[in-house]
């Protein structure tokens, strides 16, 4: 038995709230995926903070209408699973990694705010480093000149001390 109108409204509201918090939505076709495989995918998604939902496309279209993901509505065809995350990369990583090991899960499309991408775009997004890795790289890049300056400034007194030590050794030598 299907959902009645008020239950559908509750589902749409819940998914709309999740869409509002998301930085990325990934669509994947799950046709032929076993219950065990689907359970494993959900476990992996939960561990990465990805909201995973199987939803009727009409309800999903209502949930994204009026948002920056509205362009994704045209891609909502067939039995789809929706992966949403506040980190733009994590949903793509989880679904893409699972799809590599299970040919029944097929990536269809994805979206970031005001940008819709195809399957190749989702795969490219999945290959990007996570936000934390990008921030660590940026921090290392910003720290490198400062660390080099500190070493250079530290070298001046060190060179002076070594010069004094060499002069002292030279004075101690008999002529």
Rounded Cα distance, 61 and 5, in Å: 16
Which CATH superfamily, name and number, covers 5-128?
Ribosomal protein L10, N-terminal RNA-binding domain (3.30.70.1730)
19 CB-near residues (< 8 Å, 6+ apart): 25, 63, 64, 67, 69, 84
Write down the pLDDT at residue 175.
63
pLDDT attached to residue 81: 92
- Reported as a single tens digit per residue, the pLDDT across 110-152 is 999 989 999 898 888 888 887 778 888 888 888 888 888 888 8
What are the average pLDDT values for consecutive 10-residue runs of the chain, which has 175 residues? 80 87 91 90 91 89 88 89 89 91 90 90 85 83 83 83 85 76
How confident is the model at residue 157, as a pLDDT?
Answer: 83
What is the pTM assigned to this prediction? 0.72
SS (H, E, C) 41-55: HHHHHHHCCCEEEEC
> Are the CB atoms for 54 and 15 separated by under 8 Å?
no
- Phi then psi for 45, rounded to 5 degrees? -65, -45
List C-alpha distances in Å: 126 to 14, 42, 69, 129. 26, 17, 18, 8
Helix, strand or coil for residue 115?
Answer: strand
């Amino acid at each position: 038995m299907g959902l009645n109108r008020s239950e559908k409204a509750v589902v749409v509201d819940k998914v709309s709230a999740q869409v509002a918090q998301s930085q990325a939505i990934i669509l994947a076709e799950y046709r032929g995926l076993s219950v065990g495989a689907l359970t494993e995918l959900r476990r992996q998604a939960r561990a990465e903070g990805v909201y995973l939902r199987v939803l009727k496309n009409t309800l999903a279209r209502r949930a994204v209408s009026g948002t920056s993901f509205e362009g994704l509505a045209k891609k909502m065809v067939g039995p789809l699973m929706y992966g949403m995350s506040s980190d733009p990369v994590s949903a793509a990583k989880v679904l893409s990694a699972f799809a590599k090991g299970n040919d029944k899960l097929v990536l269809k499309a994805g979206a970031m705010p005001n940008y819709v991408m195809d399957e190749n775009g989702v795969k490219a997004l999945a290959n990007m480093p996570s936000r934390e890795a990008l921030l660590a790289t940026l921090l290392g890049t910003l720290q490198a000149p400062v660390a080099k300056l500190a070493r250079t400034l530290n070298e001046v007194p060190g060179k002076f001390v070594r010069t004094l030590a060499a002069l002292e050794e030279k004075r101690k030598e008999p002529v």
